[in-house]
Amino acid sequence: MDINLFKLCSGLKVLGYFMILLVAAIIAVSYYAVVVITCGPQLLRGGVHSFFGFSIIILFHILLVMLVWSYVMVVFWDPGSVPENWRSVSVSSSSSSGVNLEAGTSSQSLDNVGPDARGPSRSVGFCDRCQNGKPPRCHHCSVCQRCVLKMDHHCVWVVNCVGARNYKFYQVLGQSQRNHSSSPANLAIVFLAFVINLAFALSLLCFIVMHSSLVSSNTTSIEVYEKKRTVRWKYDLGRKKNFEQVFGTNKALWFFPLFSKEDSDSIPALHGLDFPTC
Residues noted as catalytic: 155
How far CA 273 is from CA of 70, 134, 145, 257, 277, in Å, comes to: 23, 9, 19, 21, 13
Q: Strand, coil or helix: what is 46? A: coil
Q: Strand, coil or helix: what is 114? A: coil
Give the integer Cα–Cα distance in Å for 242 and 106: 22
For the chain, count helices (H), then strands (E): 9, 8
User: What number of other Cβ atoms are within 10 A of residue 203's Cβ?
Assistant: 11
Write the CB contacts of 36 (distance below 8 Å, at least 6 apart in sequence). Answer: none
User: What does the DSSP assignment read for 213-270?
Assistant: HHHHTT--TTTHHHHHTSSS-TT---HHHHHHHHH-S-GGGTTTT---HHHHHH-GGG
